[in-house]
Amino acid sequence: MRIARFEVGDSIRYGVIEGDTVTEIEGDVFAKFEQTSATHRLAAVRLLAPVVPSQMFGPGLNFADHLHHAAGITGQTEMSPTPEPWHKGINSLSNPGDAIVIPFDSTTGVEYEGECLAVIAIATRRVSPEEAWDRILGYTCGNDVSERTWQSNDGSFWRGKGTDTFSPIGPWIDTVFDPKAGGDMVVRVNGTEVQRASTADMYFDFGEVISFISQQVTLLPGDIVWSGTTGDPQVLNPGDIVEVEVEGIGVLSNPVEAEPRQG
Amino acid sequence: MRIARFEVGDSIRYGVIEGDTVTEIEGDVFAKFEQTSATHRLAAVRLLAPVVPSQMFGPGLNFADHLHHAAGITGQTEMSPTPEPWHKGINSLSNPGDAIVIPFDSTTGVEYEGECLAVIAIATRRVSPEEAWDRILGYTCGNDVSERTWQSNDGSFWRGKGTDTFSPIGPWIDTVFDPKAGGDMVVRVNGTEVQRASTADMYFDFGEVISFISQQVTLLPGDIVWSGTTGDPQVLNPGDIVEVEVEGIGVLSNPVEAEPRQG
């Protein structure tokens, strides 16, 4: 099943997608809901970030082939023994189609990171990796936009990965996708493929990351855990269109803009 | 004016405190509101965390006399040239009177940090330090409960300062308090004073910290910025009662419990 959050007229609704139609639901999207008789053509609604999480967590380095790239940013030269979670700022959340804005005071620009995201269904505390899988509603795509100078020099990722517009997610939640079986996470910039890796190659899988976080933190319905990224992401330029596709889920597309200099 | 958030019967309300009475309000607590005719004795309601922020940010080291203590935890030996913000997990938010729970898997226990908290009134982006002061609704007290082993060894403060129950805040928002004029932040454990410092001695004042964060992050109404702490905080024990008082605001009191070991 594919669950979308969308704007139609002045209101925001959840719905179930089938083909080119979205059907509004009634009830709790994280628990029990029913489809209504209200349907819309998918092309006639504006898709939004499919959830509004209370928190988002990324893992530290989570693909062995990203180690080389990370070493130049954080100095890390080997995989960590734990998932090393960090907060991705909620202010940075944005929608499919929203612009990724390069801050005028960034000296080195921003890079894409195409990722798969797990959406939590149920309040989760102190679960095992095996139990954690049952706490996931489904999966969506996300772009972990990163400003490398801030990521490297600051004491936390508050702006390096948390600046406004740095977390486009969507286009919907797929409840059938199986990251253990593996789906390729693909990034295209202006139509050219620039990144590809399988969710099956996550160093810590979603069960392990969620279990680890849940030992100290209660994850709530809608909260998001990012997969981590792979390879050697490159800088985005104003005017670019960047797409993150998780094969089997869908495509998240965002344009890139430069913030006008102030003052 | 003192603004409280409280539970009465099954509902949660905002109100204005005068003497030993709280009067319910109508409207937007962050903008325009009016007092109603519904009043309660303060002793008859349960005070809650006075806001539910979308995000909370702490500064890095923000009192020169905490440098010695911090050096043993993070290795930091001099003040940073910027406020070095970090996310304090929203899951850790708790109410006046709620227990601070020492996780069973903490090897070194938890320490108190008595702090003053600024509550944002208006969506705030790219303001100057001078402008930032006008974006503050008021101030409350908070305990930045910290597990030092996790704070020291993890790559981020996600659990060292973000474990469930690690952010009691309250008892209310005081809109008249002036941290520039200075109010003493005092901590008492079982009635004995263990920490005292003035908000006037913050290395980066609230205007500077909020301005700095707002360059990349839109702060929203209700968001919280912590002051940082001072001196040499000590470990809390199960059965302790820890009070954080910001003189001129009020007293936040919380008991300390040990989490039962699992399995």
Question: Cα separation of A251 and B5, whole Å?
Answer: 42
Classify burial at A128, counting beta carbons within 10 Å of its beta carbon; exposed 0-12, middle 13-18, buried 19 or more. exposed
Q: Is residue B73 part of a domain?
A: yes
Confidence of residue B222 (pLDDT cuts 50, 70, 90): very high
ipTM over 0.85 threshold: yes
Which pair of tokens denotes residue B238? 């199960």
Among B9, B24, B47, the domain-final residue is B47
CA distances from A185 to A168, A197, A228, A231, A251 (A): 15, 5, 11, 11, 10
Distance of residue A102 Cα from the nearest chain B Cα, in angstroms:
10
Closest CB to B215: pick one of A86, A91, A105. A105
Asked if B232 contacts B168 with a C-beta cutoff of 8 angstroms, the reply is no
Give the nearest chain B residue to A261 (CA atoms): B126
Cβ B125–A85 below 8 Å, yes or no? Answer: no
pLDDT digits (tens, 9 = 90+) for B89-108: 999 999 999 999 999 999 99
Neighbours of A174 (CB within 10 A): 24
- B23-32 average pLDDT score: 96
Distance of residue A217 Cα from the nearest chain B Cα, in angstroms:
5
Residues B29 and B142 in one domain: no
pLDDT at A106: 97
β-pair partners for B133? none
Q: Is residue B23 part of a domain?
A: yes
Quickly tell me which residue has 């006639």 as its tokens: A44
Asked if A101 contacts A239 with a C-beta cutoff of 8 angstroms, the reply is no
pLDDT at B65: 82
Residues of B in contact with A213 (CB under 8 A): 158
Residues B16 and B68 in one domain: no
Residues A70 and A105 in one domain: yes
Q: Residue B146 gets which letter from DSSP?
A: B
Residues listed for chain A: 263
pLDDT digits (tens, 9 = 90+) for B156-208: 999 999 999 999 999 999 999 999 999 999 999 999 999 999 999 999 999 99
Q: Is residue A263 part of a domain?
A: no
Residues B127 and B207 in one domain: yes
Q: What is the CATH number of the domain that holds A30?
A: 2.30.30.370
Cβ B157–A157 below 8 Å, yes or no? Answer: no
pLDDT at A70: 77
**How many domains in chain A?**
2
Q: What is the CATH number of the domain that holds B217?
A: 3.90.850.10
Residues of B in contact with A219 (CB under 8 A): 91
Which pair of tokens denotes residue B11? 């509902």
pLDDT at B263: 59
Q: Which residues of A touch chain B, with CB atoms under 8 Å apart?
A: 54-55, 57, 60, 80, 82, 84-87, 89-92, 103, 105, 125-126, 150, 154-159, 162-164, 213, 215-220, 262
With a CB cutoff of 8 Å and minimum separation 6, the contacts of A205 are A129, A179, A180
Residues A9 and A112 in one domain: no
Q: Is residue B263 part of a domain?
A: no
CB pairs under 8 A between A and B: 97
Residues A112 and A204 in one domain: yes
Question: Cα separation of B26 and B24, whole Å?
Answer: 7
- B100-121 average pLDDT score: 97
A112 phi/psi in degrees, rounded to 5? -80, 155
Q: In what order do the strands lie in the sheet with B250-258?
A: B100-102, B250-258, B241-246, B184-189, B192-198
Closest CB to B162: pick one of A80, A163, A217. A217
Asked if A257 contacts A99 with a C-beta cutoff of 8 angstroms, the reply is yes
B179 phi/psi in degrees, rounded to 5? -70, -20
Closest to A95 (Cα-Cα) out of A27, A165, A41, A34: A165
With a CB cutoff of 8 Å and minimum separation 6, the contacts of A57 are A85, A86, A87, A88, A209, A213, A217, A223, A224, A225, A226, B158
- Write the single-letter amino acid at B111: E
Instruction: Write the DSSP string, A15-74.
Output: EEEETTEEEEEEE-TTS-EEEEEEEEEGGGSEEE-S---S-EEE-SS-SGGGHHHHHHHH
Q: Which of A158, A204, A211, A225 to mutate to test the interface with B (most CBs of B within 10 A)?
A: A158
- B37-64 average pLDDT score: 96
Residues B38 and B55 in one domain: no
pLDDT average per 10 residues of sequence, chain A (263 residues): 96 97 96 96 97 97 83 83 97 98 96 98 98 98 97 96 98 98 97 96 97 98 96 94 98 97 74
pLDDT at B70: 77
Cβ B156–A262 below 8 Å, yes or no? Answer: no
Residue B66 has pLDDT above 70, yes or no: yes
Distance of residue B76 Cα from the nearest chain A Cα, in angstroms:
11
Residues of A in contact with B105 (CB under 8 A): 215
Closest CB to A156: pick one of B86, B90, B91. B86
Q: Is residue B94 part of a domain?
A: yes
Question: Cα separation of B213 and A161, whole Å?
Answer: 13
Residue B131 has pLDDT above 90, yes or no: yes
Residues A43 and A54 in one domain: no
Residue B252's domain comprises: 49-258
Residues of B in contact with A103 (CB under 8 A): 215-216
B44 phi/psi in degrees, rounded to 5? -95, -5
- Write the single-letter amino acid at B209: V
Closest to A208 (Cα-Cα) out of A260, A112, A135: A135
Q: Which residues of B touch chain A, with CB atoms under 8 Å apart?
A: 54-55, 57, 60, 80, 84-87, 89-92, 103, 105, 125-126, 150, 154-159, 162-164, 213, 215-220, 262
Closest CB to B218: pick one of A91, A105, A216. A91
Distance of residue B125 Cα from the nearest chain A Cα, in angstroms:
10
Give the nearest chain B residue to A82 (CA atoms): B154
Asked if A114 contacts A239 with a C-beta cutoff of 8 angstroms, the reply is no
pLDDT at A166: 98
Closest CB to A103: pick one of B87, B162, B216. B216
Residues A129 and A113 in one domain: yes
Question: Cα separation of B1 and B250, whole Å?
Answer: 12
pLDDT at B180: 96
Residues of A in contact with B86 (CB under 8 A): 155-156, 158
Residues A58 and A40 in one domain: no
pLDDT at B42: 96
Cβ B91–A163 below 8 Å, yes or no? Answer: no
Cβ B217–A87 below 8 Å, yes or no? Answer: no
Residues A100 and A207 in one domain: yes
Asked if A22 contacts A45 with a C-beta cutoff of 8 angstroms, the reply is yes
A124 phi/psi in degrees, rounded to 5? -135, 120
Closest CB to A84: pick one of B89, B155, B220. B155
Residues B22 and B131 in one domain: no
Residues of A in contact with B80 (CB under 8 A): 155
Q: In angstroms, how far is CA B193 from the centroid of its own chain?
A: 19
Q: Is residue A58 part of a domain?
A: yes
